[in-house]
Homo-oligomer: A and B are copies of this chain.
Amino acid sequence: MTMNKQWLLASRPTGWPTEANFRLVETAIPTADDGEIVVRNHFMSLDPYMRGRMDDGKSYAQPQPLDQVMQGGSVGEVIESRSPKFAVGDKVRGGLGWQQYGKAKAELFVKITETRVPLSAYLGVLGMPGVTAWMGLSQIIEPKAGETLVVSAASGAVGGVVGQLAKAKGCHVVGIAGGAMKCKLVVEEFGFDTCVDYKAADFREKFKNATPKGVDGYFENVGGEVLDTVFGRMNAFGRVAVCGLIAGYNEAAAPMTQFRAILINRLKVQGFIVSERMDLWPQALQELAGLVVSGNLKYRETVAQGIEAAPRAFLGLLKGENVGKQVVKLI
């Protein structure tokens, strides 16, 4: 009999998580109740936000419950349906988390009908990270042609899309990424104008040279010293979309010394959560899908193999070991 392997949250981390914070269990494959579908996951998503939910503190989402399946996005195939919305064999995107099989109410899934794009892309460029990039850029930064746009974690699932969308708007696009390999990818494959390695000893100097006209828009995924450096280069009326602060998720990040820039340069600094504007997803996904299908929006994936690999891949993601979208391939 085939079983369903699931990763549960076993304990809450203090500082950096370890594999001991997760527990692998096997349960029976679920069966559908009325209005539900059962899905076999082909890919599951690993994302930085999951680190925040492992904590117990106040945040924008409920904490991940202990001893429950780790929550997260997933794509897969319907294997049982008790809903008229889906038939067995349909491909769907949903949020079944870190497990091989799962079930939920049919209305919590979206059918994937576009076959020119690999299924895993619906967890990245055509999923939450892609919409996040689109939303922060179009709703907060509102870039104009000729402006300088900076994005941190530029080789990541969100950052790569931000830069390419800003290039299409006519911006001068500067990425920030960790290491020469990632910087090369960002420029050569994603088409950024330049990319600065934040691990370099002379990062501040290099960043200054890369932004001779200052910075008009900043898409922030990192925080800490990177944030402080970019704030010191912001132009008057600059806009900062705060999407993530991964530098502070596992340890205290460098303090913010440039808050005064908000006043001096009349900046707008705004945090946002992509799931709170579901009304914008259809427009975002339509635009993103058009660009992907036409070859005008590139993306990369880092694929871990098999459900067992999930915790290790997640820890690597938090340390920046991935390039592009981190997923786990389950079949």
Contact = CB atoms under 8 A, between A and B. Distances in A.
A268 B267 contact: no
Interface in A257-275: 257, 259-260, 262-273
A60 to B, nearest CB: 6
A257 B254 CA distance: 9
Contact of A242 (B59, B244, B263): B263
A269 B264 contact: no
Interface residues of A, number: 29
Contacts of A267: 269-271
Interface centre among A59, A223, A270 (most CB of B within 10 A): A270
A248 B262 CA distance: 13
Contacts of A263: 242-245, 271
Identical copies in the complex: 2
Contacts of A270: 262, 266-269
Contacts of A116: none
A264 B227 contact: no
Contact of A255 (B227, B257, B265, B273): B257
Contacts of A236: 60
Contact of A227 (B242, B259, B269): B259
B271 A262 contact: yes
A276 interface: yes
15 contacts: A60-B236, A60-B266, A223-B259, A227-B259, A243-B263, A245-B263, A255-B255, A256-B256, A256-B257, A262-B271, A266-B270, A266-B272, A268-B268, A268-B271, A269-B269
Interface of A: 58-60, 223, 227, 236, 242-245, 248, 255-257, 259-260, 262-273, 276
